[in-house]
Amino acid sequence: RFRGSNLGAGFASFNVGNESPQYKLKALIDKPETHQYIKKRLEEFDISINSEDEPLWSNGRLFTSWISNVSSHDKKLSLALNTINSELIMGEKVRGRFYSSGKFVEVFKDVGYPIDVARLSGLVKNPRDADMWVAHTRQPTNSPGMLPIWSHPFSSFEVAIVHNGDISSFGAN
């Protein structure tokens, strides 16, 4: 708490032994219309939602989390998520973003101190076991602190990373 700020924190759990054939998708979304848009776009990519948690809109936050389980081929799902994420950022306006999409990796992130994010994510009330955890708290310097999509960890399928400062070679790598 003393090294970060209330502008973002997150956790990633890694469960290598998970045998589920489904991907757990998590997206931060700004309003019900964005939620419907994401569901429609997933269907257009022929990705069926097997189960979902309805977003809680009454929490008064800029973004709320939507969680769903889907079955899909890796490449098809990757194309869908990259396309939809690109569509959800229009100029300076961010409508939402998929932030977790793994079978073995699950990300929990939001705006707040680590304990706030753990409470919002249900980790305090319902602790989880994992083979490994990565955690991060931040003081944003190059991205808006009020947008939870910029909180760490960043994830793509079975990879999750945190970093300090800029990754200046991101494009080259």
What's the gap between Cα 134 and its chain centre? 14
Comparing 168 with 14, which gets the higher pLDDT? 14
- With a cut of 90, say whether residue 44 has pLDDT above it: yes
Instruction: Say what the pTM is.
Output: 0.85
Q: How far is 113 from 127, CA to CA, in rounded Å?
A: 18
What is the reported pLDDT for 101? 93
The model's pLDDT over 59-109, given as tens digits with 9 standing for 90+, comes to: 667 888 899 999 888 899 999 999 999 999 876 778 899 999 999 999 999
Task: Give percent above pLDDT 70 in the chain.
Answer: 87
DSSP summary character for residue 143: S
Cβ atoms 7, 111 nearer than 8 A:
yes
Token pair belonging to 138? 């931040």
Comparing 173 with 2, which gets the higher pLDDT? 2
What is the reported pLDDT for 144? 65
Q: Is 20 left (phi over 0), alpha (psi -120 to 50) or beta?
A: beta
Q: How far is 51 from 133, CA to CA, in rounded Å?
A: 25
DSSP summary character for residue 73: -
Cβ atoms 109, 64 nearer than 8 A:
no
Q: Is 61 left (phi over 0), alpha (psi -120 to 50) or beta?
A: beta
DSSP summary character for residue 54: P
What is the reported pLDDT for 2? 73
